[in-house]
Structure 1
């Protein structure tokens, strides 16, 4: 499938691997893909993000991702669900950090290993066997293909990776939505029906 990725989409995936390596993560996660997409310039995805007001807000996105890592990678929706069961995630994080130090649940090098599958699947050849991809990151790449096919686009671009991030539940979609980038708004900018069209 990687032959269907545009140069920009390939650069974003390789950028995600780079972010995982710099952060000391054992595997490439969806959040690394979001960071890599924020790095891109002069692409359909970057123009769409700028149109939706995300340009210049990278620090805010990084803070939100760091806070989610501090919660052990759980989204606010996950925390709310746990709260409904009588589990106070803030209290748990506080106790873990009291015992093991601040950011103990966010320790990048200790996360992501169990879901990777180094050397398995088309994505390992795509990125040269660097870090394995978590199940969520693999599913994101597959979902980007579905996004491209739904639009009858011949290739998978960075805009399809963005659409897939916003369509899937989890921290990246939550962070993007908090910054005004939802699946509906992104699709409107990319494919019409909005004030601006990236492209």
Structure 2
């Protein structure tokens, strides 16, 4: 399947593995894919992000992702849902960090086995070889990028399809992008027309 990925899309996948390694994560998650997309230059995804005003705010997106990792990977929507049940996530994070140090919830997630994080399963495993396994969410982003490319009748899967897939799926990456004015709809407008700029 990875023969259908462009050079830029392959660089994002490998970059995501690199981010997971640098963050000492046992698995590659969707947030690592977004971090790798933020690193890209001179690609369709980087054009779209720049067109939507994210060029000067990439560090802010990275900080938002780091804050979500500190919360154990939970989005603000997750925190709001817990709040509706009378659970104050910020108080829990504070108490855990008082007892175990800053980032303790993030560290606890590293050792936890998560659904869909098995090695060597699926078409993506041959591309990343012996590196960290992808979580089910990251695998779903790869699959969704294929669906988006097919829907657009694009012959290859580019980094723009990965970006669109991240923006389309609920979770921390989409939330961080939306907080910075980058939504699935705005990305489609920039990449495929209907707006002022169109990626070529």
Partner of 2:197: 196
Query: Which ranges of structure 2 fall in alignment gaps of 5 or more residues?
Result: none
Distance in 2 of aligned mates of 1:71 and 1:114: 16
Residues 26 and 113 of structure 1 are in contact (CA less than 8 Å); yes or no, is this contact kept in structure 2?
A: no
Partner of 2:98: 98
Query: Which ranges of structure 1 fall in alignment gaps of 5 or more residues?
Result: none
Q: Which stretches of structure 1, 4 residues or more, deviate above 4 A after TM superposition?
A: none
Distance apart, 1:190 and its partner CA: 0.2
CA RMSD of aligned residues (A): 1.3
Distance in 1 of aligned mates of 2:180 and 2:167: 12
Paired residues in the alignment total 199
Distance apart, 1:34 and its partner CA: 0.3
Q: Deviations over 1:57-90 (max 9, x none)?
A: 2211111011101111000000001111111111
Residues 72 and 109 of structure 2 are in contact (CA less than 8 Å); yes or no, is this contact kept in structure 1?
A: no
Distance apart, 1:27 and its partner CA: 0.5
Residues 24 and 108 of structure 1 are in contact (CA less than 8 Å); yes or no, is this contact kept in structure 2?
A: no
Distance in 2 of aligned mates of 1:108 and 1:71: 11
Distance in 2 of aligned mates of 1:196 and 1:5: 24
- 1:145-164 equivalences under 5 Å are 145-164=146-165
Residues 112 and 134 of structure 1 are in contact (CA less than 8 Å); yes or no, is this contact kept in structure 2?
A: no
Partner of 2:171: 170
SS in 2 for 1:148: helix
Instruction: Provide TM-score, normalisation by structure 1.
Output: 0.96
Partner of 1:65: 65
Distance apart, 1:141 and its partner CA: 0.3
Q: Deviations over 1:12-61 (max 9, x none)?
A: 10000011011110000000000101111111111000000111222111
Distance apart, 1:114 and its partner CA: 2.7
Instruction: Provide TM-score, normalisation by structure 2.
Output: 0.96
Residues 64 and 176 of structure 2 are in contact (CA less than 8 Å); yes or no, is this contact kept in structure 1?
A: yes
Partner of 2:141: 140
